[in-house]
Structure 1
Amino acid sequence: MRWVVTGATGMLGVDVVDVLRAAGEDVSALGRADLDVTAAQECRRAVDGADVVVNCAAHTAVDAAETEEGAAFAVNAVGARNLAVAAAAAGARLVHVSTDYVFDGTATEPYPVHALPDPRGAYGRTKAAGEWAVAASGADALVLRTAWLYGAHGACFPRTIARAGAERGALSVVDDQVGQPTWSRDVARLALDLVAAGAPAGTYHAVSAGRCSWHQFAAAVLASAGLERVALEPVTSAQFVRPAPRPAFSVLDTSQLAAAGVEPIGPWRERWELAAPSVLG
C-alpha cells in the first residue's frame, strides 16, 4: 500500500514513518515545509494515489493556543477537514490523530470512545472541531485519540524532567492529574495494526494501559535516568498554574481495540522501561 504521512517531521510523525518503512510499506513523508494542510488544493495533490493517509499534522502548543486559537483552528480543524475531504475523493483511508483534551477531565472512570466531547481550552476545542470535520467529510476514517505522548524525536515530558532533575537536583511535579503515558512508537504501530486488520471506521483510543499521575511518571523517568536521588515534591495543579487548563483525569478506555481485533498497547510502566533508552538518549 502507498501511505502518505503528514506532520512527518514531528515526534509522532517520525515514528509513524519509521514503523511503516520497517514494515515494508511505501511511504511519502510530508513535513510542514512540504505540505500546508490549511490549503485544500495542496492536500488534494498530496494524497492523490494514496491508499492510506495518516494525519499527524497538528498545532500542539497547548498554552499558546489560548491566545492563538485561530492559528490552532486552521491546522487542527480546517487542516483535518482538508485532508479528510481529499482522502475521500482519492478513495484513501484516513488515520487522524486526536487527543484526550477533547474531554473536560472531570470523569472518574475511563472515557469510552463515545463519550461526549467537552473541551475546556482552545487546543481541545480545535481538536474536537477536527474530529467533527473528519466525521462530517464522509471519509473512511479512523480517529485515534492519544494522551501524555512522549517519544525520541521531539520535546516531551520525560526529557524535560531528566534534564531539569540533573540540573537542579530537586523538582516539584503535580500529582492531582492522572493519565496514561504513551510512547509515540506504540501509537505508530497501533495505526498500522488497525489498518492491517481492516478495523471499522470510527474512533479508537491509542494509549497505554494503566494510569498514573505526572508525579509518578516523573519518578519513573528519574529512576530510568539514574537520578533517583533527585528530590521530587508532589504539588497540586493550583500551585502550578498554566495558561491552558489541564484535564485532571485523562484516562481513556481502549476496549474498542479488542472489538476490532487489535491488541491494545501494554502497561505504561512496561512500555516506558522499553522506550526510556531511546527517549532519554
Structure 2
Amino acid sequence: MSILVFGRTGQVARELQRAGMVTALGRAEADLSDPAACAAAIHVARPDCVINAAAYTAVDRAEDEDALARTINAEAPGAMARACADLGIPFLHISTDYVFDGQGEAPWQTDDATAPINAYGRSKLAGEEAVRASGANAAILRTSWVFSAHGANFVKTMLRLSETRDALSVVGDQIGGPTPAAAIAEALLTMAGAMTSGQPGGIYHFAGTPAVSWHDFAAEIFRMVGRDVALTSIPTSDYPTPAQRPLNSRLDCAALATDFGIEPPDWRAGLRAVLKELGI
C-alpha cells in the first residue's frame, strides 16, 4: 500500500514517517498555500491513499491571518480530497476539537453541532466541510492536545520552563485529552489500511484518556521527571490570549472503536514514551 502524506516536519507527520510506509511531502514539494499544487501532486504520485497531516496551527496568529489559515486549512484539504475522488482513493484528514464551542462538560459526539469560537477553529471546520463535499471516501479525525518529542507542544514547553523556574501558573479550567502524536499516526495507518480495502470513512474522534486539565497535565509531567515545581491553577480569564480557547475539549471516541477497533490511548503511557525519547 502506497500512502502519500502531506506534511513532513509536523508532529504527526514525523510519526507517520517512522512507520516507513509513507512518502511525505514537505512545503518544497507541496505548499498548502497553493491548493492546486497539492491536487496536482496527488495526480502525479497516484498513491493508494492520501493522509493530510499538515495544517496552519498558529491559533493566536490566525486571528490576524484568517485568509491564510483558510487557504491552508480549508481550500488545500478540499483540493486534495477532490483529487482523491477523481482517482477513487481514500483521503484521511486531521481536524480538531476547536470546531466546537467548548461549552458544557460532556464529551463531544461526532454529530454534535459545531460552533468554533476562534479563526483557527473556523478554518478547520471549513476544511471539514470541503472534504465532506468532495465526493471522496474520506475520514476526518478530530483530535486534541497533541504532544510528542518533536516540534512545539505543551510537554516540551513545560519542560523548558521548569529549567529556569521553580513555580508556574497553569490554566486549570480547560479540560481535554492529551494525545500522543505516535498514537494518532498509528490510528491513521490502521484506518488507511481498512479504507483502501473498501471500508467507508466518516467523522471520528481520537483523544487521550483520561480527561485532564492543563494544570493536572503539567503536574503529571513534573511528577514523571522528578522536578519540584510549585504549580498554581488559574482560570482561563487570568491568561488572556488573542484567540479564545474552548473550556471543554473532551472527545467521545466510541465510533472509532466501533468502526475500526481503535481504542483511545492512555496519554500517561504516551508521555512516558516521549520523556524517554527526550532522554529525561
Quote the Cα distance in structure 1 between the aligned partners of 2:239 and 2:139: 35
Please say if residues 5 and 28 of structure 1, whose CA atoms lie closer than 8 Å, have aligned partners that are also in contact.
Answer: yes
Quote the Cα distance in structure 1 between the aligned partners of 2:279 and 2:37: 36
- 1:34 and 2:29 matched: yes
Please say if residues 88 and 139 of structure 1, whose CA atoms lie closer than 8 Å, have aligned partners that are also in contact.
Answer: yes
Quote the Cα distance in structure 1 between the aligned partners of 2:61 and 2:278: 25
Q: Residue 7 of structure 1 aligns to which amino acid in structure 2?
A: G
Alignment match, 1:225: 225
Q: 266-275 vs 148-157, which deviates more? A: 266-275
Give the secondary-structure state (helix, strand or coil) at the position aligned to 2:133. Answer: helix
Give the secondary-structure state (helix, strand or coil) at the position aligned to 1:207. Answer: coil
Q: How many Å apart are 1:261 and its aligned residue?
A: 3.4
Please say if residues 170 and 230 of structure 1, whose CA atoms lie closer than 8 Å, have aligned partners that are also in contact.
Answer: yes
Alignment match, 2:71: 74
Alignment match, 2:205: 205
Please say if residues 211 and 268 of structure 1, whose CA atoms lie closer than 8 Å, have aligned partners that are also in contact.
Answer: no
Quote the Cα distance in structure 1 between the aligned partners of 2:56 and 2:148: 17
Alignment match, 2:241: 242
1:182 is aligned, of 179, 182, 189, to 179
Alignment match, 1:43: 38
Q: 156-165 vs 253-262, which deviates more? A: 253-262
Alignment match, 1:2: 2
Q: Which runs of 5+ in 2 are unaligned?
A: none
Alignment match, 2:154: 157
Give the secondary-structure state (helix, strand or coil) at the position aligned to 2:28. Answer: coil
Give the secondary-structure state (helix, strand or coil) at the position aligned to 2:240. Answer: coil
Q: Where do residues 111-122 of structure 1 align in structure 2 (5 Å cutoff)?
A: 111-122=108-119
Give the secondary-structure state (helix, strand or coil) at the position aligned to 2:249. Answer: coil
Quote the Cα distance in structure 2 between the aligned partners of 1:126 and 1:40: 14
- Equivalent residues, number: 275
Please say if residues 36 and 76 of structure 2, whose CA atoms lie closer than 8 Å, have aligned partners that are also in contact.
Answer: no
Q: Where do residues 187-198 of structure 1 align in structure 2 (5 Å cutoff)?
A: 187-198=184-195
Alignment match, 2:89: 92
Give the secondary-structure state (helix, strand or coil) at the position aligned to 2:4. Answer: strand
Q: Which runs of 5+ in 1 are unaligned?
A: none
Q: 92-101 vs 189-198, which deviates more? A: 189-198
Q: How many Å apart are 1:262 and its aligned residue?
A: 1.6
CA-based RMSD: 1.4
Quote the Cα distance in structure 2 between the aligned partners of 1:90 and 1:261: 24
Quote the Cα distance in structure 2 between the aligned partners of 1:133 and 1:177: 29
Please say if residues 179 and 265 of structure 2, whose CA atoms lie closer than 8 Å, have aligned partners that are also in contact.
Answer: no
1:248–1:186 CA distance, 2 compared to 1 (3 A) = same
1:98–1:280 CA distance, 2 compared to 1 (3 A) = farther
Quote the Cα distance in structure 2 between the aligned partners of 1:87 and 1:39: 17
Alignment match, 2:216: 216
Q: 239-248 vs 27-36, which deviates more? A: 27-36
CA deviation map 1:85-111 (0-9, x unaligned):
111112221010000100000032110
Identity score, percent: 40
